[in-house]
Structure 1
Amino acid sequence: MTKNQAGEDRGTRLDPGTVIRAALELLDEKGLDALSTRAVADRLGVRMNTVLWHVKTKASMLELMADAVIGGVAYDGLPEHWRERVRELVRRYRAALLAHRDGATLVVGTNVAEPHTLRFAEALVGALLDGGFGEREAAWTAWTLSYFTLGLTQEEQAAAEQPLDGRLAAAVSAGSHPALHQALDHLGPESFGERFEYGVTRILGGG
């Protein structure tokens, strides 16, 4: 870092947390496609190199952002019973993803081993172990729940940005896609919450 950049940094009291908060604000306003280290620097009124001094690379910035999103998961008041604890954890995970525009897409695109992400994984795997799952079964069930939640939430957020409106119904007829046409009433965007609950129940072996 040059002397001028260091002075700029001190003048704005910039630190990694400030950079990530600015990046999340930009994400919420403009979406993931508009996100760059230069855009974050412009928002903070500093040079791009100053942002990179704190987050190193764009990939690292995205990982820290993803971890901050998962940091929205709360752990107070969790149920004692393992199954309900798992269900509540993934509900809170979904809520944390939905709290930010493109939150699921952001997290999907990263491979994070940061504190908030590890804390959530620890709580989820721990609940499954408490339920009598073996080590591999607990780990893989935790992955399955995470992947399911991320995928469904990513679809939900995409639908909010670009709703299908009547296009799906117009594209599906009894003649061209009989099975889809028969199930069409259950494929609408209003069913995301119910689909989430159903999927979690099926993954955990419920009826």
Structure 2
Amino acid sequence: MTNRQQERLDPATVIRTALDLLDEKGLDAVSTRAVADRLGVRINTVQWHVKTKARMLELMADAVLGEIPLGDLPDAPDERARELARRYRRALLSHRDGAMLVVGTYAAEANTLRFAEALVEAVLGCDLGDREVAWTAWSVIYFTLGLTQEEQAVDHRPLGDLLASAISATTHPSLHRVAGHLAPASFDERFEFGVSAILAPR
């Protein structure tokens, strides 16, 4: 690749290409070499823009969060926080392995910080102390990431199926009793329940 061609390639193009690869083949297929192959350039050209695979994944995660709209939010702080969590989940679900991508990174980048600022601002309006605000906001994020990661892995083998094959009313009576409520179809309800529980008035 010539210097002129290298100059025309920019980090945004690399990240868009990496996200396309993610959506088509999943997180395991994403690498700087795979992105270089997709772009028809040498691997060092991609690395010149994003340095390492880890850095590329951080920028990809930040790009996913950049897709979250922050306008037209409810006025009530608790409902605003719930709506932000919903939009966060939708952004993760819009990309194959989106939750796994974000879980594996710590991107202190513009889009990530923009979303975090909006969420913390909403939770600050819920009459909590600063420590509770920080921990509540993180709890919303961790819960959403964890549930969404399970939801995106459901095609491999749902948790309900795993439980059904491993437990019985005799050996694990409590688990057996509630296992039916962990069906894949309940992800929306489980998400709303969990976020509401985290944001419930103290």
- Give the TM-score, by structure 1 length: 0.92
Correspondent of 1:163 among 154, 157, 163: 157
Q: CA RMSD in A?
A: 1.6
The superposition leaves residues 20-44 of structure 1 with CA deviations (integer Å, 9 ceiling, x where unpaired) of 0000000011111111100000001
- CA distance in 1: counterparts of 2:91 and 2:126, whole angstroms: 25
8 A contact 2:78–2:125 mirrored in 1: no
Which residue, out of 43, 65, 68, partners 1:70?
65
Moved more, 182-191 or 167-176: 167-176
Please state how far the C-alpha of 1:163 moved relative to its aligned partner.
2.9
Please list, as runs of the form range in 1=range in 2, the aligned pairs for 1:1-207 lying within 5 A after superposition: 4-10=1-7, 13-160=8-155, 162-164=156-158, 166-205=161-200
Deviations 1:6-30 (A, max 9, x none): 24414xx210000000000000111
Q: Between the two proteins, what is the percent identity of the paired residues?
A: 65
- Deviation of 1:167 (Å): 4.6
Encode CA deviations 1:122-144: one digit per residue, 9 max, x unaligned: 00000111222222111111111
Q: Return the alpha-carbon distance in structure 1 between the equivalents of residues 114 and 60 of structure 2.
A: 15
Distance in 2, Cα, partners of 1:109 & 1:5: 34
Q: Structure 1 residue 71: deviation in Å?
A: 1.0
- Would you identify which runs of 4 or more consecutive aligned residues in structure 1 move more than 4 Å? none
For residues 23 and 171 of structure 2, the distance between their equivalents in structure 1, rounded to whole angstroms, comes to 39
Q: Which runs of 5+ in 1 are unaligned?
A: none
The C-alpha deviation readout for 1:81-130, integer Å capped at 9, x for no partner, is 00100000000000000000110010001111101100000000001112
Aligned counterparts of 2:162 and 2:191: Cα–Cα separation in 1: 23
Q: CA deviation at 1:168?
A: 3.3
- SS, match of residue 58 in structure 2: helix
TM-score (norm 2): 0.94
Whole-Å separation in 2 of the counterparts to 1:24 and 1:8: 21
Contact 1:104 / 1:153 at 8 angstroms: preserved in 2?
yes
Mapped to 2, the partners of 1:24 and 1:181 lie a distance apart of: 40
CA distance in 2, matches of 1:106, 1:121: 17
| 1:5 Cα deviation from its structure 2 partner | 4.7
